[in-house]
Amino acid sequence: MPETKNSKNNENVAADVDFLDETKPETTQINFAPLLTTGSGLNEGTVRAISAAKHEPEWMLTIRLHAFATYQKLHQPQFGPDLSALDLAHINYFQRSTPGVARDWADVPAELKNTFEQMGVPEAERRYLAGASAQFESEVVYEHLQDAIESRGIIFCSMDQAVAEHPEIVRQYFGQLVPDSDNLYAALNTAVWSGGTFLYVPAGVFLDMPLQSFFRINAGRSGQFERTMIVVEPGAHINYVEGCTAPTYSEDSLHAAVVEVFVHKDAYARYTTIQNWSNNVYSLETKRASADAGATMEWVDGNLGSKVTMKYPSVYLDGEGAHGTMLSIAVAGRGIVLDSGARMIHNAPNTSSSIVSKSIAKDGGATDYRGTVRFGPQAHGAFAHVECDTILMDESSRSNTIPINEVHCSDVAMEHEAKVSKVSEAQLYYLMSRGLTEEKANEMIIMGFVEPFAKELPMEYAVELNRLIKMEMAGSVG
């Protein structure tokens, strides 16, 4: 989502895991009355009701009310996809599906357990996960953390729990990278946020196993407003992965997340997202990170489905030698607009950044890259690389590259390249001359195109992403 210049101030071994697969029968969509809901619409009473339902301290209610007042003064972004069909007045802003967070899988209600079993949560956790958290509608319903991880001082819980149990950390960092004034959907999230992940990694702690979360929207005309905060103390190392999914339904829904990641001196953080929303979801997110001296922040971002996506993960390179990367893949089919990219803000000497964006558009879909690289006055010796590659599968699909490069320092270097192409006829001819059908040849070319992205994912995500893309490409013959 949009940001102001000074807004920072105010994922091969195969594993058959299905948590992102929406080709399953309709049993994956469970319809039942929530235990608590604020109903349709938003006003100050809704905000107060959400805070009261969570038994929040007064300071968080104050933050929410301030954000709601800000929200009422802001407008839709003046760029990007058309959002006029999104009816914010008839969204359900909060739904509680369970009495509380289940710490053991056996304690999760049967209906929700069925949903998350089909998403692969137990299987993934059993094979790969150091910890797992699963959010259904507005709140986290399942959370598990291995004792070995907890004993190292890592805090991995829902944001709701963090507000109650770790208020000193939350108050220190909340809204520091994404203030409520940043954009309409940041203000909305701050006012009505619910669930999301809190991750705190103490200084010097190295964790090579990924911590993972799963987010599910199960009903139409509903909103999910998770708030994620990650703090990586000096010299620490963390890898966080999230999967997002929704079934198909007839009414539009909204996913408006806010993510803030603080990577302190010489620390490393990787944040991986694979989103497979239905084509009735508006995914409008604000994701931002800061990297102190010698720190590295990596975004790995995969987007499939959704009616409209607007997402531009940012890294503020605030300390000397800080490094930021963004590796993304977007696949857009009929009726889908994916407007995504990255922002690298160089605020210190000898910082470096890399943006690699790959996209595929088919059946009239649209994939747009929108990115910013800014070299501030103190960014002496900084370097940035931007690479945007798009494959258009037919004449009706489209792609635009919209870069913004700001240079306020004379001794910096930047590389930018962009390429839009169709599937290579020479490659097709070669593969078909070896006996492959045109459809199979297309599939092989596409999978080679996305391979640099897939190899960066944890193995279960890479397998699932490849399967989803193959399904998306079924029937595409150029």
- Pair 280, 149 in one domain: yes
134 inside domain: yes
CA–CA separation, 69 and 74 (whole Å): 9
- Pair 299, 442 in one domain: no
In this predicted model, what pLDDT tens digit does every residue of 7-65 receive, in sequence order? 444 332 222 223 233 333 333 444 444 455 666 789 999 999 999 988 999 999 999 99
Determine the angle formed by the axes of helices 44-53 and 58-73, rounding to 10 degrees: 150
In this predicted model, what pLDDT tens digit does every residue of 385-406 receive, in sequence order? 999 989 888 889 899 999 999 9
Mean pLDDT within 468-473: 64
Give the CA distances from residue 133 to residues 130, 275, 467, in Å, rounded to whole numbers and listed in that order. 11, 16, 24
Cβ contact 416:448 at 8 Å = no
Determine the angle formed by the axes of helices 184-192 and 58-73, rounding to 10 degrees: 150
39 inside domain: yes
Domains held by the chain: number: 2
Q: Rounded to two decimals, what is the model's pTM?
A: 0.81
34 inside domain: yes
Q: DSSP character for 92?
A: B
Element (H, E) at 228: strand 227-232
438 inside domain: yes
User: Domain span at residue 89?
Assistant: 26-311
321 inside domain: no
What's the pLDDT at 96? 56
Mean pLDDT within 236-252: 72
- Pair 302, 448 in one domain: no
261 inside domain: yes
- Pair 301, 442 in one domain: no
Cβ contact 264:195 at 8 Å = no
SS3 194: coil
In this predicted model, what pLDDT tens digit does every residue of 172-194 receive, in sequence order? 999 999 999 999 999 999 999 98
Give the CA distances from residue 236 to residues 128, 145, 152, 158, 354, in Å, rounded to whole numbers and listed in that order. 21, 18, 12, 21, 22
- Pair 306, 437 in one domain: no
Determine the angle formed by the axes of helices 425-433 and 438-454, rounding to 10 degrees: 120
303 inside domain: yes
Q: What is the mean pLDDT of the chain?
A: 79
132 inside domain: yes
Nearest of 309, 423, 412, 321 to residue 367 by alpha carbon: 309
What's the pLDDT at 349? 98
Can you spell out the DSSP letters for 310-340?
EE--EEEE-STT-EEEEEEEEEE-TT-EEEE
Token duo for residue 417: 């390249």
Q: Which of 311, 329, 360 is the last residue of a domain?
A: 311
Cβ contact 310:275 at 8 Å = no
- Pair 136, 271 in one domain: yes
Which has the higher per-residue pLDDT, 221 or 61? 61
- Pair 87, 218 in one domain: yes
Which sign does the torsion angle of CA 184, 185, 186, 192 carry?
positive
What's the pLDDT at 11? 30
Cβ contact 260:173 at 8 Å = yes
CA–CA separation, 324 and 330 (whole Å): 20
SS3 143: strand
Q: Tell me the pairing of strands 343-346 and 366-375.
A: parallel
Can you spell out the DSSP letters for 67-84?
HHHHHHH----SSSS--T
CA–CA separation, 473 and 120 (whole Å): 23
What's the pLDDT at 196? 86
Q: Which of 285, 311, 337 is the last residue of a domain?
A: 311
Token duo for residue 404: 């913004």
In this predicted model, what pLDDT tens digit does every residue of 351-381 receive, in sequence order? 999 999 988 888 899 999 999 999 999 999 9
The answer on pLDDT for 263 being more than 80 is yes
Mean pLDDT within 312-326: 97
Element (H, E) at 469: helix 459-473
Q: Which of 296, 311, 326 is the last residue of a domain?
A: 311
Q: Which residues contact 467 (CB under 8 A, 6 or more apart)?
A: 21
Q: Which residues contact 478 (CB under 8 A, 6 or more apart)?
A: 393, 394, 422, 423, 428, 438, 442
Buried b (16+ CB within 10 A) or exposed e, 209-241: ebbbbbbbbbbbbbbbbbbbbbbbbbbbbbbbb
- Pair 439, 296 in one domain: no
Q: Which residues contact 246 (CB under 8 A, 6 or more apart)?
A: 22, 216, 217, 218, 253, 255, 277, 278, 280, 281
- Pair 441, 296 in one domain: no
In this predicted model, what pLDDT tens digit does every residue of 414-449 receive, in sequence order? 999 888 877 777 777 778 888 888 777 777 777 777
Residue 203 exposed, middle or buried by CB count within 10 Å (0-12, 13-18, 19+): middle
- Pair 123, 254 in one domain: yes
The answer on pLDDT for 162 being more than 90 is yes
What's the pLDDT at 251? 65
